[in-house]
């Protein structure tokens, strides 16, 4: 009799659990779940982008422009000598007059410039980060360091892109398994209908841009030798957000 009762109790318990499982399946049958997932990779920065500049001011516009042109040419030669593999691009040439506003504020006379300000910028992209302090110090004898930013080269970015896609997809599968378990369903019942690898839907935020350390300097230096600056390239973090549209059969 005792064995019979135990058998009956076990049978009833299994039947009860089976009913609960069946009800869970019925309640979530055809359910569509939108699941965001994330992938993140870190890598030391291997590329530097620096901006150098020269600015001159003179009563004679031609004289100011001539000094800018000469110093920029000499500065370019210095950078090329220090870092032959660097990629250089000049930009932002400007020239504008300087007025004494107070003198003509209450006057109807046509304002005349008291001097001219002329300048130009030079962008430098290099992978030779170890030699960067020497390159910058040498160029600062003529040019000013206007900006510095560390980041990842194109080759490294492509490599990391594959890694973050794999990590994001793995995270999606892990989340599907967790959600299926919480719903009392099997992962075998879950089918991926859509995967958005750019996170362009309204249900997610846009991808964050790679985070990079940036540094800047301001004024022009003298022609005397310049002490080498200290730089820490840091690292970049590349993030990916994907969204999966999952249906339970």
Is pLDDT above 50 for 57?
A: yes
pLDDT, one tens digit per residue, over 7-35 is: 444 444 444 444 554 555 557 677 888 88
- For residue 9, being part of any structural domain is answered with no
26 neighbors 189 (Cβ within 8 angstroms): no
With bands split at pLDDT 50, 70 and 90, how would you rate the model's confidence at 220?
very low
In angstroms, the CA 60 to CA 58 distance is: 5
Check residue 16 and give its pLDDT: 46
- For residue 137, being part of any structural domain is answered with yes
Query: What is the widest separation between alpha-carbon atoms in the chain?
Result: 120
Is pLDDT above 50 for 56?
A: yes
The three-class DSSP label of residue 205 is coil
In angstroms, the CA 187 to CA 173 distance is: 9
Across 12-16, 38-42, 70-74, 189-193, which has the greatest mean pLDDT? 70-74
pLDDT, one tens digit per residue, over 147-196 is: 999 999 999 998 898 898 899 989 988 988 888 888 888 888 888 888 88
What CATH number did the domain enclosing 103 receive?
A: 3.30.70.2970
- For residue 11, being part of any structural domain is answered with no
Q: Residue 29 is encoded by which pair of tokens?
A: 């049958």
- For residue 86, being part of any structural domain is answered with yes
Residue with the bigger pLDDT between 246 and 138: it is 138
- For residue 91, being part of any structural domain is answered with yes
Helix axes 61-82, 132-139, angle to 10 degrees: 160
> Tokens 């001097």 appear where?
115
Write out the E strands in the chain. Answer: 32-44, 47-58, 87-98, 115-126, 144-151, 190-196, 214-215, 235-248
With bands split at pLDDT 50, 70 and 90, how would you rate the model's confidence at 246?
confident
In angstroms, the CA 58 to CA 174 distance is: 67
In sequence order, the β-bridge partners of residue 47 are 151
150 neighbors 210 (Cβ within 8 angstroms): no
- For residue 74, being part of any structural domain is answered with yes
Residue with the bigger pLDDT between 5 and 100: it is 100
In angstroms, the CA 33 to CA 202 distance is: 15
pTM of the model: 0.65
- For residue 24, being part of any structural domain is answered with no
- For residue 80, being part of any structural domain is answered with yes
The three-class DSSP label of residue 128 is coil
Question: What is the count of structural domains for the chain?
Answer: 1
For residue 96, the enclosing domain spans 47-152+213-234
Residue with the bigger pLDDT between 83 and 226: it is 83
């Amino acid at each position: 009799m005792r064995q019979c009762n135990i058998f009956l109790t076990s049978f009833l318990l299994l039947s009860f659990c089976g009913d609960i499982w069946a009800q869970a399946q019925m309640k979530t049958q055809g359910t569509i779940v939108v699941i965001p997932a994330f992938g993140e990779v870190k890598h030391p920065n291997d590329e530097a982008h620096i901006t150098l500049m020269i600015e001159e001011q003179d009563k004679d516009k031609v004289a100011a422009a001539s000094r800018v042109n000469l110093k920029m040419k000499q500065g370019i030669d210095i950078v090329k000598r220090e870092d032959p593999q660097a990629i250089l691009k000049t930009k932002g040439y400007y020239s504008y007059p300087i007025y004494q506003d107070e003198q003509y504020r209450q006057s109807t006379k046509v304002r005349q410039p008291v001097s001219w300000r002329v300048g130009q910028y030079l962008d430098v992209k290099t992978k030779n980060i170890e030699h960067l302090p020497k390159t910058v110090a040498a160029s600062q004898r003529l040019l000013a360091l206007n900006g510095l930013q560390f980041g990842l080269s194109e080759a490294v970015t492509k490599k990391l892109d594959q890694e973050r896609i794999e990590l994001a997809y793995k995270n999606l599968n892990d989340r599907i398994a967790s959600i299926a378990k919480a719903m009392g369903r099997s992962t075998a019942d879950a089918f991926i209908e859509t995967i958005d690898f750019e996170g362009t839907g309204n249900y997610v935020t846009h991808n964050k841009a790679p985070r990079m350390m940036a540094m800047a300097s301001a004024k022009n230096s003298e022609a005397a030798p310049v002490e080498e600056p200290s730089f820490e390239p840091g690292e970049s973090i590349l993030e990916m957000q994907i969204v999966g549209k999952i249906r339970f059969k």
